[in-house]
Structure 1
Amino acid sequence: MLADDTYVARRLFLLGEWDAALAVLGPDGDPELRAEIAVDRWFFRIEDHDEAEKAVAALDPSLWTAQLLTARLAYSRLMFQRDPRPDDRAVAEASYRAAATSGDELQRGWAVYHWGVLLDNIDEDSAGAVARYEEAFEIATKYGDDFLESYIIRHLAHLKAPAEGTAMLRRSLHLRAALGARPQTIAAQAVLADDLPEHDPERAELIRTYRPGAEELRIGWLKPTG
């Protein structure tokens, strides 16, 4: 039964049904999965930060998952300016660095990617970010991790020439849709819509499509595109 509950929780997690996923998992479920879901819910909804932090604190700090999620919490407080702490920048980089050395190679790819996002969005260090995105991209393609690739190329897109960047955004959207990752697909639709010319019919269709889903999932940082 526990294995079945974990499977169902993972499927609900992928759909952005965070509350239901946590309920199915229950208090005795996989603590790493619980922490992942709680942090993801906080990141998309900008709600229940304390519960996310508590779930991460319950993990063995030497675990790759604990290191990555600790970094993501610190990064997100800075990014969204939600009660950022004086040491958040240092904690984020130190934890990403630790995660990049404590897991397997694919896990390293995720850690290096997130480290690149920190450099990109917080430090505005494009050169440093690109180096890490490219390293993570090599790992993602080596292991066929389409989900990781979808994240990397979505961030690389804004550093490329317009036509190439738009093509990357479309591929990111298609990869996420194929995987059934609903919150990420909605976010990809919004980003692509914002990238397209104002009077492009595809832009209007993307906006019409993503807005109801964003409202249903209560994605807190996804501002409507006019």
Structure 2
Amino acid sequence: MIADATYIARRLQMLGEWDAALAVLAPDVEPELRAVIAVDRWFFRIEGHEEAEKAVAVLEPASPTAHLLTARLAYSRLLFRRDTRADDRAVAEAGYRAAIEGGDEKTRAWAEYHWAVLLDNIDEDPAGAVPLYETALEVATKSGDGYFESYIIRHLAPHKEPAERMAMLRRSLNLRAALGARPQTIAAQALLADNLPEGEPERAELIRIFRPGAEELHIGWLLSED
């Protein structure tokens, strides 16, 4: 039964049904998965920060997952400019460093990726970010993890020449669509549209496609761009 609930929760998460995913998990079961889903919901909807923070607080504080999720919450407050705290930048970097030091290979790679995003989006330091993206990408491609790869190349693409950039953005979209990751696919459609020229028919078509999905799933940072 627990295994079934875990599987269902993960599938619902991939569909962007975060509330339903959390509802199928008993409060005292799979605390790491609950925390991951709660943080994921906050990142896409920009809603439920307090619930996400409470879910992370239940975890063993020294665990790599707790470090990574704590860092992501600090980063997100900076990114969304929501209830920022004076130490958010330091907390984010410290959490990523701790996850890298204590995690397995995949956890380390995810932490390196998120640290790169922090350097890229908050510090505006592409020279520091790109090597971390590339290190994480090696792990993703070696392990055949298309979901992880889709995240990395989405952020690595802007640092490439136009032809390679567009190829990366299209691959990120295709990987996400093939995996049934609906919120991520919608976000990839929006980013690809944003990188196409004004007046391009494909751009207009992508906008028509992604906006209803963004509205249905309440993807806050896409809706705020309208």
TM value normalised by structure 2: 0.97
1:26 Cα offset (Å): 2.4
In structure 1, the residue matched to 2:84 is: 84
* Unaligned stretches of 5+ residues in structure 1: none
Per-residue CA deviation, residues 46-81 of structure 1 (Å, 9 max, x unaligned), is 101000000001100111111110000000000000
Counterpart-to-counterpart distance in 1, 2:20 and 2:62: 28
In structure 2, the residue matched to 1:184 is: 184
In structure 2, the residue matched to 1:99 is: 99
Corresponding position: 1:28 with 2:25: no
1:225 Cα offset (Å): 6.8
Counterpart-to-counterpart distance in 1, 2:146 and 2:19: 26
In structure 2, the residue matched to 1:164 is: 164
**RMSD across aligned C-alpha pairs, in angstroms?**
1.1
Counterpart-to-counterpart distance in 2, 1:223 and 1:44: 10
Letter paired with 1:166: M
1:223 Cα offset (Å): 3.9
Runs of 4+ off more than 3 Å: 223-226
Per-residue CA deviation, residues 81-115 of structure 1 (Å, 9 max, x unaligned), is 00110000000000001111211111111110000
In structure 2, the residue matched to 1:38 is: 38
- SS of aligned partner of 2:151: helix
* Unaligned stretches of 5+ residues in structure 2: none
Counterpart-to-counterpart distance in 2, 1:60 and 1:138: 29
In structure 2, the residue matched to 1:6 is: 6
Q: 1:167 to 1:23 in 2, by over 3 A?
A: same
- SS of aligned partner of 1:221: helix
TM value normalised by structure 1: 0.97
In structure 2, the residue matched to 1:57 is: 57
Question: Is the 2:215–2:223 Cα contact (8 Å) retained in structure 1?
Answer: no
Q: 1:224 to 1:193 in 2, by over 3 A?
A: farther
Counterpart-to-counterpart distance in 1, 2:58 and 2:28: 12
1:142 Cα offset (Å): 1.0
Counterpart-to-counterpart distance in 1, 2:151 and 2:9: 22
Q: State the identity as a percent.
A: 75
Aligned residues: 226
